[in-house]
Chain A
Amino acid sequence: MSVELATSTSVSESRDWVALAKIALSRSALWLLLVALAVVANVLSHGSFLTLKNVVNILAQNSVLGVLAVGQTLVILTAGIDLSLGSITALVAIVVLQAQGLGFGLSLLAGLLVGLIAGLVNGLLVSVGRVPPFIATLGMMQVAMGLAYVLSQGFSINDNQHVGLLFGHDKLFGLVPSLVIVWAVVTVVAWFVTKRMRYGSYIYAVGGSPKTARTSGVPVTKTLVFAYAFAGVCAAIGAVLYVNRNGNAEPSIANITTLSMSMAPVVVGGTSLFGGIGGVWKTISGVLVLGVLGNIMVLVGVPANPQQAIQGVIMIAVVFIFVAQERRQRLR
């Protein structure tokens, strides 16, 4: 122990620019990868990738997943997992559409409420019911999807009264889509919650060491319920974005791979599946890297069906790399 202290002191005393550069590099590695991918995509697309229009389009395409992944980040930070976010998205999309007769405001409220309740149920099952997170949310995946089918009878429902999300507008200054704005707002809120608010501190502590958190007086149960409820609300917002973008929804959107695998960008971004390490910004870089990668797959001409398999493999590969890296760090 005393030896460890000695080394850590000497390292920090001799912190020169090489070490600083290394840290900066490792912190921004994913952003650099993103730039590299963008360049590759630009070459593959003969220069049509890095146009304002295309970049905005990619952001809009990934905003639903982006919002889900932000919610997922909070759950994974507690060392949990939420497999049900895709299904909650489907359920809320159906709820919002079925309630559209009540007017935009009320249907939106109903949708958010449903997402909140689903998240609360997940959180209570995990914390009070002591059900392992992946089992609790696997059940919710089924329940929410079932309810979505019950409410829609399996049919696709159209959004008959499209309302722009920015006070009735779909684009800010006729350029930035409302979806991207909402995603950005959700991200900033989640960042504020995790880094500036009490329950954010608790989330990191509970994920890092639930026992320490408990003995230190952290309300562990409330923290878990909060994280899952937050994720549920994010899924509900994702559903609203989905409806806004697609103009319709059917219950099977729960099976869209990117939505049901919202943990992929979180892990790619560098948030630890074992809790306590990571954050919302990292997730954004993960979403963008996977998004650009998906765009490249389209550019190269990979048909839609194998993409699901490829995304699964990518996820495992990335998780693998990150876990190996974490282990090395722990051994040091």
Chain B
Amino acid sequence: MAKYLLLKHYRGGPAAVNDVPMDQWTPAEISAHMQYMRDFAARLEGTGEFVDGQALAPEGTFVRYDGEGRPPVTDGPFAETKDLIAGWMVIDVDSYDRAVELAGELSAAPGAGGKPIHEWLELRPFLSEPPTITE
């Protein structure tokens, strides 16, 4: 088994095919989208491949150490940040091919007009523990 992170971006990836902001969809289209996402996660739980899924608020802060005895420096949020992560799903699957298959399904979630969004999801393998048998 191998763990993969499916990253969804608010921005930073290539534009989706069906790229309409959600507040311009109809309420029924929003419901259909939410249902698809819930069904997807439930199905992965059913197959034993779901690990975790979380959504992130769009605004964040950059923080860094500023030396002994000083409070940390904070900066942001930056309106111009190019890469903005919206959320993630972690899956534990048998192969890279299976991870790609699932990411493709998630990207097919319906959007405006009830058509698939075709949004780009970033697929990143976890760096795992070294195997016991190496020779």
Decide whether A and B are members of one complex: no
A residues bordering B, Cβ < 8 Å? none
